Chains A and B, each alone.
Chain A
């Protein structure tokens, strides 16, 4: 019981912090106080999650009735803490705590009340994510999935007076909501088929009985939800724009919360995908395709955050592909290691942006001289992402590519991604940190303070050792898969190094080159955002036109009929009014005619 309380504390402490900072005006208007409340809660929540994980009290499981139906229970909320969710809680807790501490320094120049609001959303976000990770059933997964989407909307739109931030927030919400429509339908179908939302009960049901004829629909619909949150093509369009939020928010979104939620959902429901091989194949190819597609886009970007955004999209593709190929452990492991080094990269990028006040690598250059610590940390993150041994990314990427090794096309896509990833990350690093400064601000960069460097160091340590430390103890994170270095791994490491070398020769400090590796027409094509335009067309020419047409029909056709009826009634009334002439003679004539008519009818009529 005490461990159950501890597990409950993990999401509820941040929830309490959100309520306190959101509703108590004295705290909410005071940025420092809100930060203190929020960080304390995140810290305690992390402590609680570590304690339950390491105490060996797993699995913990308890549910409470939430939505009643016919005297029974339709929906439940609860806690399911096992080998899969416990490590995720810890990873989310670490990243969120680092981000919250980092934000103290990063947002120091913002108005106090704005920071109060920021920490309210941050706490709410942590609550939503931890509640999501702890979900024992599909309904709770959906509930928190949507709340995660809401928190992203609020945080991406933190600078709400910037029009671009408003657009980006709305886009993120709507695109992810579009995928969630599929998730919601899947939820309803699951209820209709199994009469429960509980994942364990569903697992028992699908393994015991004959499957429904259209069983593939369920995993396919769930994958819609995964694809939108985890930014798989073609639902990835919101992710690059989400860079409009403050950089620590991007770190949180890209490492441990928003996009991780999609992959975690896939992990939790993987038993459904295993029973639908066709859907799994689609999942794998979508993932592999996304990874290469996003990597190519990443090569063309000059905005340092957008480079990282596309790399997230690309790495998520790898995770999804691995799970589609049947290796849940590989995808999940990559999710965990990726959380560390991607958060690190974003925070390091934030440190750079904080120093030079631009996102554009063309305005940077030579920053390593003034920001030695940031440069080192960025380099660690980049090497981890490129899969250089023995950093975190190496171990997990190795597992992912091994998982794909039976599917030549997917493997080829994955390996190409590895090459390009190493290239474009090194390109960003070289353009930003080496060579000569290319702007006034870049000439005098200042290193960030300890509130920002501290969290980066923690994450840097994670990026260094997470893979190494966790791999031999795969059981610790609920995995059974064992690591073994094979030919695929060797090729991957080789390609990674080749990518780094390519970048050195194309953009190294001596080259002073910001030139692109792709030829101009290809660049124009990939930068045009063809998929974005499809959405714009769908919105403007289809949906909005339809809406206008319906609005017109309502106003003129349906309402027109009503108005015509009203008008006709008036006209008929004023026409009939003429019958009432007011002259007695007229009435007597009418009376006489009526009498004649009645007499005629009584004589001959019947």
Chain B
């Protein structure tokens, strides 16, 4: 059975089915979407068990043989972990969008199409097919934010408020346009690099055959930074991160969850999996820059988050900071660093997914995202308060949560690498994180309840709990039993990394 294709295309098939449904069949739309998400999730777990059993799944089908393009899929340790992550977030996201009212059918269709793209990128073995999936993952975002994005926002303040209003900065159309253009700019760079690599590699797009040869050094030197910036703009690499705060803040809940939780990982996956593994000499030469920028990302993102008063912006900037941890781990070119980077992709995915689900719930109940105007919500929404605290703890890297394992591994990797000093900004970033997330948690949930401004507040209910429990449970489970995810990651890291380290020695 072509399990990987089922994982990838189940959401797409469901999207087609949804389009055939009559408008207004509210429950059916959600159930079909959830069914598709479940099929993909189960398929991902099957792929994981195959990988752990020593027989990783692969599929291949010639697509355009004349150009060396094949529909080739494979699932190794990194892929299966990220497949499971995508499945979990999509599943949770379908529940978190339960209350979408405006054009809910189209919303779910786009959400499912987008996730087909994400699944596809994580299993593609062919650069051309990967690029197709990448574009499928990025484009629906424009509509999802532009149509279903939030219009209410914290109005701009300060001396330049008029300028910001003129450009409609922070508005959903602005955010959607900015996100799409910046990411498409990135994918243009990716496409150029891909075509050059395929040509230099003897006309094949297959990643395995490209990996088996050493591409010319000058090509590696210029192609790697293009991939770094191209994929990196999706991973929130400074200074190409500015689509992220506006985009995540304007996007509807499930879209923020998927985008920050999974799509940003596509970027990091691309940088490591394609940039570093296929272009090892380029990676070795550029690693100091990648690491330095990543360290900047960590501290810069944390400081920016600290200065925000809009809850969604706080979470969005924290993603910028945490994606810096992923890229720092990647730049260390060490086992611990890479394990930590991929684990951080998973840990950050579920953590930020939980964050955005919670922020969506709070916003739905209070109709504000302005943190200073909140307060004392713990009395009315104790469940949400506990989950928010849990996500905060994972975010600041508390042992016992998933966030600790990844950050710790990256710190170890950074200290072992040639740039031990990278550890310092990384550790400072973790401390700054604890300041801004716990301050936000205190401002929202602690203190005397503001019953006058918010007379009717209640806790999460019914389907909303599904996503909270799933993601919250995953945070604790992985914090206590990291080997569950780290074991497959580690197996693939030990396969891929020697290519890069041997290139450094050359």
List chain A positions with a Cβ less than 8 A from chain B: 65-71, 74, 142-144, 146-147, 150, 157, 160-163, 165-167, 169-170, 173-174, 177-178, 181, 184-185, 187-189, 191-192, 543-544, 546-548, 550-552, 554-556, 558-559, 561-563, 566-567
Contacts and interface: CB of A to CB of B under 8 A. Distances in A.
B45 interface: no
B451 to A, nearest CB: 11
B483 A69 contact: no
13 contacts: A142-B399, A144-B399, A146-B404, A147-B400, A160-B447, A167-B442, A178-B431, A192-B416, A543-B432, A550-B300, A554-B242, A554-B300, A566-B178
Closest 10 CB pairs of A and B: A551-B307, A143-B399, A547-B306, A166-B446, A550-B303, A547-B307, A547-B303, A559-B242, A188-B415, A548-B307
Interface centre among A70, A162, A555 (most CB of B within 10 A): A555
A161 B416 CA distance: 45
Nearest to A117: B382
Interface residues of B, number: 61
Contacts of B446: 157, 160-161, 163, 165-166
Contacts of A567: 167
A69 B167 CA distance: 50
B56 interface: no
Contact of B415 (A146, A174, A189): A189
Given A71-B490, A170-B438, A170-B439, A161 B304 contact: no
B398 A150 contact: yes
A543 B433 CA distance: 13
B393 interface: yes
A555 B409 CA distance: 32
Nearest to A22: B386
A555 B490 CA distance: 39
Nearest to A551: B307
A70 B335 contact: yes
B415 to A, nearest CB: 5
A184 B303 contact: no
The SS class assigned to the A binding surface is: helix
Contacts of B415: 188-189, 191-192
Interface string B428-446: 1011101100110010011
Interface string B471-491: 000000000001100110011
Contacts of B399: 142-144, 146-147
Contacts of B409: 67, 74
A70 B490 contact: yes
Contacts of B482: 66-67
B434 A68 contact: no
Contacts of B336: 69, 74
Contacts of A70: 335, 490, 493-494
A123 to B, nearest CB: 15
Contacts of B58: none
Given A157-B446, A160-B446, A150 B393 contact: yes
Nearest to A562: B242
Given A161-B379, A161-B446, A188 B411 contact: yes
Contacts of B432: 543
B423 interface: yes
Interface in B272-320: 300, 303-304, 306-308
B447 A163 contact: yes
Contact of A161 (B405, B423, B449, B483): B449
Contacts of A184: 408, 411, 427, 430
Interface centre among A142, A143, A559 (most CB of B within 10 A): A559
Interface in B151-205: 160, 164, 167, 169, 177-178, 181-182
A546 B435 CA distance: 14
B449 A185 contact: no
A543 B306 contact: yes
A543 B446 CA distance: 23
A192 B416 CA distance: 6
A69 B335 contact: yes
Contacts of B439: 170
A74 B411 CA distance: 13
B434 A177 contact: yes
A74 B482 CA distance: 12
B308 to A, nearest CB: 7
A546 B303 contact: yes
A543 B431 CA distance: 12
A174 B438 contact: yes
Contact of A71 (B379, B393, B494): B494
B376 interface: yes
A422 B393 CA distance: 41
Contacts of A544: 306-307
